[in-house]
Amino acid sequence: MAHHDLQTVSHECGDCPIRHRAVCARCESDELQRLEQIKYYRSYQAGQTLIWSGDRMDFVASVVTGIATLTQTMEDGRRQMVGLLLPSDFVGRPGRTTAAYDVTATTDLVMCCFRKKPFEELMTSTPHIAQRLLEMTLDELDAAREWMLLLGRKTAREKIASLLAIIARRDAHLKLKSAKGSIVFDLPLTREEMADYLGLTLETVSRQVSALKRDGVIELEGKRHIIVRDFDLLLEETGDDSDGGYLV
Amino acid sequence: MAHHDLQTVSHECGDCPIRHRAVCARCESDELQRLEQIKYYRSYQAGQTLIWSGDRMDFVASVVTGIATLTQTMEDGRRQMVGLLLPSDFVGRPGRTTAAYDVTATTDLVMCCFRKKPFEELMTSTPHIAQRLLEMTLDELDAAREWMLLLGRKTAREKIASLLAIIARRDAHLKLKSAKGSIVFDLPLTREEMADYLGLTLETVSRQVSALKRDGVIELEGKRHIIVRDFDLLLEETGDDSDGGYLV
DNA sequence: ATTTGGCCTTGATGCAGATCAAACATTTCT
DNA sequence: AGAAATGTTTGATCTGCATCAAGGCCAAAT
């Protein structure tokens, strides 16, 4: 199943789809040139695990296209997903040699990689990279803390609604639509992956998705295609503050 | 109950107890001088909430002494603690105007504050501050993700054991002892605060603490004073990998 | 010295979600 | 076309933790 052939692709930073959101977002053209010299692309197939927790990590990378996950696994097999990586998200930690989590491709995936050593050197000399990385890390920390509330205090139904709302919002963002009224999107995760993200079992996920469908909050077409007629209705099910409080 | 009198203290950075761990850790003496010019101290009483979620935040700060917590609250009152702030930890987010969480002092607390505007300016001009902040934020992100595993997948007993192990370890670190063999420490949190941190009810916390005591994993003296005769025994109860895998 | 209030423990009961089990749907392989 | 693999749904039952309720401990207030 796990083919180990990695395609290598080549691109210009200029027409890179994540140019304005990734670690390189703030770079001036000279900084970008130096990054361009050390970057290389890698492709992975859906289902492939790119990095195992504990592995030596000699590169850092940005997700260009596709979706990856960060998961932690306990000795007895209990699993918790601790991050969902979308295009422009950053993988790896400058200053650390060992991976702390498994990184798995849930869809076909293209990554823009940098060998760690040169990247770290670049980071100390070009402040715009470090600046952007700090910003992105702070955002991730906020997201992780929001997820802590979900894991610790939300009901199964609220958890599902929250996940759907997040995916819907990101999808709308990618399509440059606003997350209002009627939204249609595909779930990039299996029921089991959803369960691992939400701290539930796959059976409970399945039941709660069915319940939301039965109650008219969502519609299903096949297993993965979701139709949300009224986004506000979905938001009411998340348990979050209704006053649309969006920070940023 | 909530007295609103804030004492203002004055110190030299040179003999500051968190000099080598806080955001200023990497600063050269000239950078430190500039920080010293804009800093001011504030004291808070145990139980006081320093910042309410949604408040305008016009300063950032380091915890100098004492312990504070970050908590999120849902409309119906469900609460989840999303961070425990110990001496040297940083509060606030450069580049954001509004607080995302309630910040509460659980013990008497002294903070070293910087008005946000000057601090942000200092950050762009002195790379060592931004560097250190990135490092600290990455550490916090790791901690948050470890907590996600705890919240999503651990049993009540494992949660309690994990919390005790973390507090024991930090306490040993502060006292410059190694976290091995026999350890003695005081819980800085009430049962309710522990519950808010662990995603449990206070009754379950109480029961599981009693159970660990009954099973000889810990001993209690009063409600808050904990004696761990065999730290490894406690670690076995946390559900974590036994191979003492410590990153960093 | 008694009362008050904060904090903690313990018991009885209930329920949300886990676990166990079976069958169905869809895609891929032969 | 049939078989096998993968992902999903649904049902029956179990259980860990929540909830509800009562009482204990101790320091501070009266």
Per the DSSP assignment, residues forming a β-bridge with B109 are B44
Residue that is written with structure tokens 């590169």 in the block: A59
| Residues A148, B144: C-beta atoms closer than 8 Å | yes
Per the DSSP assignment, residues forming a β-bridge with A90 are A62
Provide, rounded to the nearest whole percent, the portion of chain B with pLDDT above 90. Answer: 84
Chain A residues touching B142 at Cβ < 8 A: 100
- Candidates A131, A138, A140, A193: best to mutate against B (most CBs of B within 10 A) is A138
CA dist list (Å): B176 to A93, B88, B171: 28, 16, 8
Q: What is the pLDDT of residue B173?
A: 86
| Residue A70 Cα to chain centre, angstroms | 8
Residue that is written with structure tokens 């030596």 in the block: A56
* CB of B156 within 7 Å of some strand D atom: yes
Nucleotide nearest to A201 (CA to C1'): C18
Length A235 CA → C27 C1' (Å) = 34
The C-alpha atoms of residue A73 and residue A217 are separated, in whole angstroms, by 33
Q: Which stretches in chain A have pLDDT values below 70?
A: 1-10, 243-248
Using a 7 Å CB cutoff, list residues 189-208 of A near strand D: 190-192, 202-203, 205-207
Q: What is the pLDDT of residue A4?
A: 38
Single-letter residue type at A98: T
User: For A165-205, what is each residue's pLDDT tens digit?
Assistant: 999 999 898 888 887 878 999 999 999 999 999 999 999 99
The bases of strand C with some atom under 7 A from any protein CB are: 6-12, 16-21, 26
Element at A113 (helix H, strand E)? strand A109-115
* CB of B203 within 7 Å of some strand D atom: yes
List the single residue in A70, A137, A149 with the smallest CB-CB distance to B138.
Answer: A137
Min CA distance, A168 vs chain B (Å)?
22
Min CA distance, B124 vs chain A (Å)?
8
Closest CA to B108 of B187, B45, B49: B45
Closest CA to B179 of B219, B146, B228, B218: B228
What's the whole-number average pLDDT of chain B? Answer: 92
For residue A56, the 8-state DSSP code is B
User: For A11-35, what is each residue's pLDDT tens digit?
Assistant: 789 889 999 999 999 999 999 999 9
Chain B residues touching A247 at Cβ < 8 A: 96, 98, 100
Answer yes or no: are the C-beta atoms of A105 and A47 closer than 8 Å: yes
Q: What is the pLDDT of residue A7?
A: 47
Element at B85 (helix H, strand E)? strand B79-85
Length B192 CA → C26 C1' (Å) = 49
User: For B92-151, what is each residue's pLDDT tens digit?
Assistant: 999 999 999 999 999 999 999 999 999 999 999 888 999 999 999 999 999 999 999 999
